[in-house]
Amino acid sequence: MKELYFDSVVIGGGAAGMASALELDKAGLSTAILEREECLGGILGQCIHNGFGLIEFNEELSGPEFAEKVEERLAATGVRAFTGLTVMELQLASELKTLYCYSGQHGVLRINAKLVVLAMGCRERNRGNIRIPGDRPAGVYTAGLAQRLVNIEGYIPGKDVVIIGSGDIGLIMARRMSWVGCKVHAVVEILPYPSGLTRNIVQCLNDFDIPLYLSHLTTRIIGRKRVEGVEITPIESGAIMTEKAFVIPCDTVLLSVGLVPENELSKMAGVEINPMTNGPFADSMLMTNIPGVFACGNVLHVHDLVDYVVEEARRAGIYAASWLKGNSPKAEARVKTGANVRYTAPSRVDPDKNNKLYLRSLIVKNDAQLEVRINNRLVKSIKKTHIQPSEMLTVDLGPKELESVKDSPDPVVEIAIS
C-alpha cells in the first residue's frame, strides 16, 4: 500500500473542493484533492445551460465554463489532484487524519493529513425515497441522470415526458427535453409552491408553455415493461381528492424531488449530522464536531447557486488553514432557528469576526421581515421583498451586532422571519 502525506486533503473536486483547495494552497499548505470522477468540476460538467458565475466572475457562464475558470486557477498552484480515486474509509479521531483510497491508476493508497475538508457535494433523491406506487417499468430516471444522458452521453431517454417535482434540475430538464424535440406534458409538484428558483419557472416552463400542477400528488406510475402514464391526484385543503385523479400518458418520468448531502463517509467517521440539513453541524470556522475536519458546499447544506458554494468553500479553506496555525475563536454563540426558518448554517458565530449565515425560509411571503435577536433582544432587521423556501437567504453578522454576546454566559442568536 502506497502511503502519502499532506498538510491538508480535500475530498471532492467540484466547485467547493477546488475553491477550498485554492485557499489552502495560498496559505502555504501542501494540499491534495481526491475526486472519484475522471475529471474535476463535479456536476458542473453536465450543466451546459447558462446562469452560473454572475457573482463569482461577474459574467454569465455555463457550468463547464465556470468549472474551467476555477480549474485554471487551480492549475497555477501546487495542489495535487487525484482523479478516478474513491475514498472508502476515514479515520479522523487522531491528530493525524488517515484516508484509505482505491484507484485504478494508483492502486490502494493510504493518505495522511493534518486536516480534512469535506466537499463531496450532494446526490438526488429517487423513487425509493418518495415511494410512488406502481410497477418498476423502464423509463423512470432522476432528472440529473437524464441530464447526463442527454448532455454528456448523447442519448435521449424518451419522447413523452412528465417531470415529478419542481426542483431546479427538473425545471432545467423540462426546457432541455423540449429543445431536443421531446414533449414535456407537465411538471407535477406536491407542494402549493414551486421548489425551484423563480427564474427557472419563467425561463424553463412559462417560456415553453409547460403546465405546472401545484398541490398535486403522483399516486401511481402506470406500465409494466415501459412507462405508459402517471396518475395525478389533486390535494385540496390537505386532503387527497382521489375522485379527481387523472392520468397523463407518457413514456418517460423524470424525478426532481430534492437533493441530499453526500455524507455516508462522514457518518461512518463519526461526524455529527444536522437532521434538518442532512449535513454536518459546523461551528463559526465551518469545522465539524471532529477537530481538524471541515465541511463546505452542498455536503454541508444544499445551495441554490454555485457562486454561494464557492464563496462558502473559500472561507472554509481560509478557516482551516488558520486553525492549523493555532487560531480558534475565543468564544462562540449558538445560532437558533426561530419562526418560519428551516435551518441556518453554520450553527455557531464568532463575535470577534464577520460571519455569514445561510438559511432557508419555511414560508412563501411578500414584504417579509428577517430578524436577528440575541437573548431575545433585536440586533438586526432586514426587509425582504419576497421569500420562498427554494431561494437561500444570507445574513451578515459582525462584531457590532454581536457585541452583547460577550456579556452573556450562554448567548443564543435567534433568526426568525415574520
Do 414 and 381 fall within a single domain? yes
Do 14 and 112 fall within a single domain? yes
109: which 3 cell numbers?
493508497
Report whether pLDDT(267) > 90: yes
The pLDDT of 169-178, averaged and rounded, is 96
Do 192 and 120 fall within a single domain? no
Do 356 and 272 fall within a single domain? no
CATH number of the domain enclosing 382: 2.60.40
Report whether pLDDT(404) > 90: no
Residues 125, 258: Cα–Cα separation, whole Å: 6
Do 320 and 214 fall within a single domain? no
Report whether pLDDT(375) > 90: no
Residues 379, 369: Cα–Cα separation, whole Å: 13
Does this model's pTM top 0.85? My answer is: yes
Residues 141, 266: Cα–Cα separation, whole Å: 27
Full residue range of the structural domain in which residue 286 is found: 1-124+259-328
CATH number of the domain enclosing 307: 3.50.50.60
Do 42 and 139 fall within a single domain? no
Q: What is the pLDDT of residues 225-263, one digit of tens each?
A: 999 999 999 999 999 999 999 999 999 999 999 999 999
Do 382 and 404 fall within a single domain? yes
Do 277 and 344 fall within a single domain? no
> How many domains does the structure of the chain reveal?
3
For residues 322 and 405, which has the higher predicted lDDT (pLDDT)? Answer: 322
Domain final residue pick, 257, 281, 316: 257
The pLDDT of 154-158, averaged and rounded, is 96
Q: How far is the CA of 287 from the CAs of 82, 119, 122, 347, in angstroms?
A: 24, 12, 19, 10
Do 153 and 189 fall within a single domain? yes
Would you say 173 and 182 are in contact if contact means Cβ atoms under 8 Å apart? no
Report whether pLDDT(360) > 80: yes
What's the pLDDT at 211? 97
188: which 3 cell numbers?
407535477
Do 145 and 171 fall within a single domain? yes
DSSP track, 186-222: EEE-SSSS-SS-HHHIIIIIGGGT--EE-SEEEEEEE
Do 136 and 227 fall within a single domain? yes
Domain final residue pick, 216, 237, 257: 257
Do 148 and 186 fall within a single domain? yes
206: which 3 cell numbers?
412559462
Domain final residue pick, 311, 328, 345: 328
Report whether pLDDT(11) > 90: yes
Q: Which of 341, 332, 324 has its CA nearest to residue 415? A: 341
